[in-house]
Amino acid sequence: MSSVIAAAPDAATAIPLSRALARLVLDRHRRGLPPDVQARAELHALDSLGIAIAARPVLPICQQVIEAMSFGTTGGTSAIIGGAERLPPAAAAFVNAALAHALDYDDIHDVARLHPTTVTLHAALAVAEPAGADMARVLSAMALGNEVMCRLGEACAPSGGGPGSDWFLTQLFGYLGGCVAACVTLDMTEEQLVSALGLAYMQLAGGKEAGFGVGSTARSIYPAFAAMGGVQAALLARAGVSGPETALDGAAGMFRIYLGGDAGPATRAAVIDRPGWCWLATEVKPWPSCRLSHPYVAAALALRERLGGPPARGRIAVAVNASAAKLCHPIAGRRVPDTLQDAKYSIPFMTAFTLAHGRVDLDTLGPQVTGDAAALALAQRIDIFETMPDKPGHPPAEITAEGPDGPVTVRRTAAPVLDAAGVRAKFEECLRHAGRDDASGATWDALLRALRHGSAADLVAAVPR
């Protein structure tokens, strides 16, 4: 005790973490986005908008969310993607973030294990239109909210067990990232941003049982809670409500309550002092399923190519680590998904589906998969072995099946990375899926012009209905 009292804190640790974060965010906003960050922000915003356009007309949960968030309202100032509805900002943030995640196709930072743009873009847009903000400010707000989320996620570095493993970190850290995005869009001061982070902290949630269990459709909308909460925190602080400054690193702050320990010097350094842009490690997804399934999709595609088709006979051994194992149990439920969400979150089913069809896209991986006879039959032949090393980021995937001349094993540790052309091709796929393929090129160009030179209202006007 006496040695702790005698040790004087240095200048950095004397500043509450939320204030240090606020200063970092506002300093970077004042300096402007570097060209590479600006270009990535445009691509990821276009990707998120395309996914939301694709999801709205095809998934029942999208209409359910719109109906729920419209209850009791007589209008609002914030647009809903792909429709004529207007809702109050917090409700609009919820709906649009839900649309952007509903297909499980949104961007992801692998080490942090979170989907940043789904939360931050839609929190920023929800307040941008009523505030009359231009898209340069919205993109800065999105990038800075993404940076906060990814730094917190990297500092946590979740794996199959330990701190962070039982939280949807998109949701837990998304309240803070969404709050930052809304505050920057609204041009709020340091004091207001610190208060808003405290008010966001008061809403933190994101327990992962909706993913670990089976039968729930709500897993497909969990980032929406963070987008809504971030907007609400920003608006409360803007109106003068003060939140706790020590929300992140206080005696009952986020790190101690939610992550099992204090934010020590190493954690603070990872969050505050890290050079560059952590967010740039975020990737656009090539396939519309849980990211932890992607190495298994890649391995299954390679195995199918080597065999000349799906394995004709025998058991199929799938080796997983502790992180991926959580997408394999209960094995009976994972082999026979009750919902599309269950199918996308199941390594046994996604492996079987890929082996059966040789492609994973919006046309093939839809609600009909729960009755897909070929995939379901292959899934019954899959055995799971938890033998792979655990680590943050992509799980290593290994699949072994019987070939004509004996067992064939394929291992993959990553999924394909989409470049700018790949992101545009994915956007066009999304618009085709929504029945808008005749306008996909014009829509991309119009949205890109709005992102570079227009206002939030211009962007909304460019989204097809």
Q: Write down the pLDDT at residue 207.
A: 95
Superfamily of domain 291-412: 2-methylcitrate dehydratase PrpD (3.30.1330.120)
pLDDT, tens digit, 9 for 90 and up, residues 313-344: 999 999 999 999 999 999 999 999 999 999 99
| pLDDT greater than 60 at residue 440 | yes
Portion of the chain with pLDDT greater than 70, in percent:
97
The arithmetic mean of pLDDT across residues 289-315, rounded, is: 97
Poorest-pLDDT segment among 181-195, 254-268, 294-308, 349-363: 254-268
Q: Write down the pLDDT at residue 26.
A: 98
**2-281, CATH topology level:** 2-methylcitrate dehydratase PrpD (1.10.4100)
| pLDDT greater than 50 at residue 3 | no
Return the structure tokens found at 94: 């919820």
Q: Write down the pLDDT at residue 75.
A: 84
Q: Write down the pLDDT at residue 305.
A: 97
| pLDDT greater than 70 at residue 142 | yes
pLDDT bucket at 187, cuts 50 / 70 / 90: very high
pLDDT bucket at 118, cuts 50 / 70 / 90: very high
Q: Write down the pLDDT at residue 4.
A: 29
Q: Kindly report the average pLDDT of the chain as a whole number.
A: 94
Q: Write down the pLDDT at residue 8.
A: 34
pLDDT bucket at 11, cuts 50 / 70 / 90: very low
Range(s) of the chain covered by CATH 1.10.4100.10: 2-281
The arithmetic mean of pLDDT across residues 150-157, rounded, is: 95
pLDDT bucket at 445, cuts 50 / 70 / 90: very high
* Rg of the chain, C-alpha, whole Å: 22
Q: Write down the pLDDT at residue 327.
A: 94
Residue 38 has a CB neighbour count (10 Å cut-off) of 16
pLDDT, tens digit, 9 for 90 and up, residues 159-185: 988 888 999 999 999 999 999 999 999
Q: Write down the pLDDT at residue 161.
A: 87
Q: What is the pTM of this model?
A: 0.96
Q: Write down the pLDDT at residue 253.
A: 97
Q: Write down the pLDDT at residue 213.
A: 87
Q: Write down the pLDDT at residue 292.
A: 94
| pLDDT greater than 80 at residue 442 | yes
Q: Write down the pLDDT at residue 7.
A: 32
pLDDT, tens digit, 9 for 90 and up, residues 358-415: 999 999 999 999 999 999 999 999 999 999 999 888 889 999 999 999 999 999 998 9
pLDDT, tens digit, 9 for 90 and up, residues 198-253: 999 999 999 999 988 899 999 999 999 999 999 999 999 999 999 999 999 999 99
Q: For residues 376 and 440, which has the higher predicted lDDT (pLDDT)? A: 376
Range(s) of the chain covered by CATH 3.30.1330.120: 291-412
